[in-house]
Amino acid sequence: MPNNVQPANPTVVMPYSLSTAFTEEQRIEALISAYQSGFSTRAALAINPRRFWKLSKALTAAQFTALRTFFYQNSANPFWFYNPRETVPPFTNDPTGASTFGRYAVVFDGDWAESVSYPRMAVGIALREVA
């Protein structure tokens, strides 16, 4: 039907060497209306929590270059991300994206931000689940 939101259909998989550098966060987004009297009304926007991942460790020069290249090639498109502890067997990767265990359709949540200090580089990026 026209004007319906289509589900994400990623074709690219984030490299496994970069997937292990993230920490996971789950949130239930809510609509909050605050009033001058101090009263507020709240409504959950979803039943299930949405997953977010944030980069949690400094990267080597090779990892930094790979992530930066991957970011600029896929910053506008969804891609597959494998949560290493949810894969079967744990901490494995499927570079084709065929395995559904631990796989999430994600997009980059925000802009590229970097801090370079030799020999490790810090990058402030996050991933957001879209489907």
Q: Quick one: the chain helix, strand, coil %, rounded to 5?
A: 15, 35, 50
Determine if the pTM surpasses 0.85: no
Give pLDDT, residue 28.
86
Provide the token pair at 6: 């289509």
Give pLDDT, residue 4.
61
Amino acid at 34: A
Provide the token pair at 3: 């004007």
Domains in the chain: boundaries: 16-129
Give pLDDT, residue 101.
92
Provide the token pair at 83: 């949560």
Identify which of 3, 10, 32, 4 has the alpha carbon closest to the alpha carbon of residue 127: 10
Blockwise average pLDDT, block size 10, the chain, 131 residues = 68 86 87 92 86 86 90 91 90 89 91 82 88 72
Give pLDDT, residue 57.
80
